[in-house]
Amino acid sequence: MTALPPFLAKTVRSSARAPRVTVLLATWNGAANLRAQLDSYCAQTLPPARLIVSDDGSTDGTVAILRDFAASAPGFAVDLLEGPRRGGAQNFLHLLQAVPEGTDWVALSDQDDVWLPEKIASGVQMLAQVPEGQPALLGGRSFVCDADLGQRRLSPLPRRSPAFRHALVQNFAGGNTMMLNRAGVDLVRAAAAEAGRVVVHDWWLYQIVSGTGGTVIFDPAPLLLYRQHAGNQIGANSGVEAKVKRLRWMLRGRFRRWNAINLAALRASAHRFPPENRLLLEDFAKLQRADLIGRLTILRRLGLYRHGLQGTLSLWLAAALGRI
């Protein structure tokens, strides 16, 4: 058996085998940058046991690259699935349903980034501290890069710890950094069957895991090169341009529409929430129906928060304008 880092010794001795990690990769017309991401899986200090790819109808060379990669014997199993062709969020939910029994941890992957060699091992180390049976979600920092992986800058650090009061109004980490333990996978698979439509898979994962009382961990160590290019679905929330774009989304009502979709998905799984979070969810729903004074009063009483001064101001502005 391949030698493992010291922090995995306890896991290996107790289970008599190496940890089994499955990488879930959603692809769609990603041929330009895909190979670099695939190669970074092979360079991991703790390689995955399996890669499952769901391709959402690519018309470029994406599928050919995936087939060539699988044929090159990368050292782990590669499964290629046909995606649902209903957008990136549904493609990832489709992948979560495909996680095989025996998987200990799942790592979510975009098609155009590059993982640093310790990414999987570090995630396993952190998630292994969570008691067995407790759903857990890990997200972390990244190096935000240009299309050629240059001009690297660190993504922002959160000012406060992850919590459901934050998850209702903001994500805590990029989905391309996220990992789940086995209990977390089982939870989100069951909740996904109830949710129907979700806005963004990673934000919904944060809401479900925190809402049900699971553990959410933020890793401050950057372990991923987050490539920014014209094809990014959302892109990193850093820099003046990104923040202005999100402010425009809020003013045009996109944040309010997203919240309505999120509320419907979360209500479908609210029976999994502890009583205090069910009550918080229902009080949050009242924000969309209340008048100006009511919205500001409810927002203050619930203690909802976004990170940073700009995030806080945009939340209160959204409430004042009826865009929440």
What is residue 14's predicted lDDT score, i.e. its pLDDT?
35
End-to-end CA distance of the chain: 53
153-178 confidence digits (pLDDT tens): 999 999 899 999 999 999 999 999 99
| Best CA proximity match to 95, nearest among 10, 184, 22 | 22
Torsion from C-alpha of 230, 233, 237, 243, nearest 10 degrees: 70
| Best CA proximity match to 226, nearest among 17, 4, 36 | 36
Displacement of CA 322 from its chain's centroid (Å): 28
Q: Which residues pair with 52 in a beta bridge?
A: 24, 79
- Cβ atoms within 10 Å of 296's Cβ, excluding its own: 15
- Per-residue b or e along 150-182, where b marks 16 or more CB atoms closer than 10 Å to that residue's CB: eeeeebeebeeebbbbbbbbbbbbbbbbbbbbb
Q: Which residues pair with 26 in a beta bridge?
A: 54
CA–CA dist 273, 277 (Å, integer): 6
113-143 confidence digits (pLDDT tens): 999 999 999 999 999 999 999 999 999 999 9
Tokens of 289: 């129906």
**Ranges of the chain with pLDDT below 50:** 1-16, 235-236
Domains by residue range for the chain, with CATH:
6-227 (3.90.550.10), 240-321 (no CATH)
8-27 confidence digits (pLDDT tens): 333 333 344 678 999 999 99
What is residue 4's predicted lDDT score, i.e. its pLDDT?
32
Q: pTM for the full model?
A: 0.89
Does residue 223 contact residue 122 with C-beta atoms inside 8 Å?
yes
What sections of 161-274 are H helices per DSSP?
A: 164-167, 182-195, 201-211, 240-251, 254-268
- Cβ atoms within 10 Å of 252's Cβ, excluding its own: 11
Q: Residue for token digits 């890793």?
A: 219
3-state percent breakdown (helix, strand, coil) of the chain, nearest 5 = 45, 15, 40
What is residue 12's predicted lDDT score, i.e. its pLDDT?
30
What is residue 11's predicted lDDT score, i.e. its pLDDT?
32
